């Protein structure tokens, strides 16, 4: 397995965090936030070198009306990355890592206690105390601290490979 290009991941995140890439539909609501986090993370993964996958397990974006569920929703993206690793499918693979080994360019997924993964983001910086800062859509932000309430939930840090 080969690690994705972290510099490309970060460059894309910073460039399109606040002004979305117009080559992709914005799947969320700009007024209330929500629903575009995994579309943004999938764009980052693809830009950094992961090819789209048009056969099962699907991970692709063709148009604003034709994209896979795993491209656009946090829960499906999380499990696609894990399944691709477990079964050695082509496409992006996600390795869960400990919080003490996270680096810029790693992803973070947030999961409710009922098992539903509801949000994804990318780590783009750290505080002086080495707390991760995330860049995301839903609500669009650059180098934002993780919501303290999320620490009561399950948090998964993930390194992406192809």
The pLDDT value given to residue 34: 76
The yes-or-no verdict on residue 23 having pLDDT over 70 is yes
Domains, the chain, in order of start with CATH, read 6-161 (3.90.1720.10)
Q: Which two tokens stand for residue 114?
A: 């009922």
Query: Does the CA dihedral 138-67-2-19 come out positive or negative?
Result: negative
The pLDDT value given to residue 2: 96
Q: What is the C-alpha separation between 87 and 134, in angstroms, rounded? A: 29
Query: Residue 28 — very low, low, confident or very high, per pLDDT cuts 50/70/90?
Result: confident
SS3 annotation, the chain: CCECCHHHHHHHHHHHCCCCCCCCCCCCCCCCCCCCHHHHHHHHHHHCCCCCECCCCCECEEECCEECHHHHCHHHHHHHHHHHHHCCCCCCEEEEECHHHCCCCCEEEEECCCCCEEEEEEEEEECCCCCEEEEECCCCEEEEECCHHHHHCEEEEEEEEC
Q: Which two tokens stand for residue 155?
A: 């948090």
> Whole-prediction pTM value?
0.96
- Residues 83-104: pLDDT tens digits? 999 999 999 999 999 999 999 9
- Residues 109-160: pLDDT tens digits? 999 999 999 999 999 999 999 999 999 999 899 999 999 999 899 999 999 9
Contact 95, 84 (CB under 8 A): no
- Residues 57-82: pLDDT tens digits? 999 999 999 999 999 999 999 999 99
């Amino acid at each position: 397995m080969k690690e994705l290009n972290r510099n490309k991941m970060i460059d894309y995140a910073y460039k399109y965090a606040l002004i979305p890439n117009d080559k992709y539909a914005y799947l969320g609501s700009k007024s209330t936030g929500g629903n575009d986090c995994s579309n943004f993370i999938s764009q980052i993964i693809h830009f950094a070198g992961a090819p789209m996958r048009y056969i099962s397990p699907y991970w692709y974006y063709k148009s604003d009306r034709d994209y896979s569920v795993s491209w656009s929703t946090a829960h499906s993206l999380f499990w696609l990355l894990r399944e691709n690793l477990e079964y050695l499918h082509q496409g992006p693979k996600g390795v869960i890592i400990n919080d003490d080994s996270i680096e810029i360019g790693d992803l973070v997924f947030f999961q409710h206690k009922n098992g539903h993964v509801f949000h994804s983001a990318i780590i783009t910086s750290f505080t002086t105390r080495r707390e991760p800062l995330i860049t995301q859509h839903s609500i669009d932000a650059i180098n934002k601290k993780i919501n303290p309430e999320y620490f009561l939930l399950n948090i998964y840090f993930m390194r992406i490979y192809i």
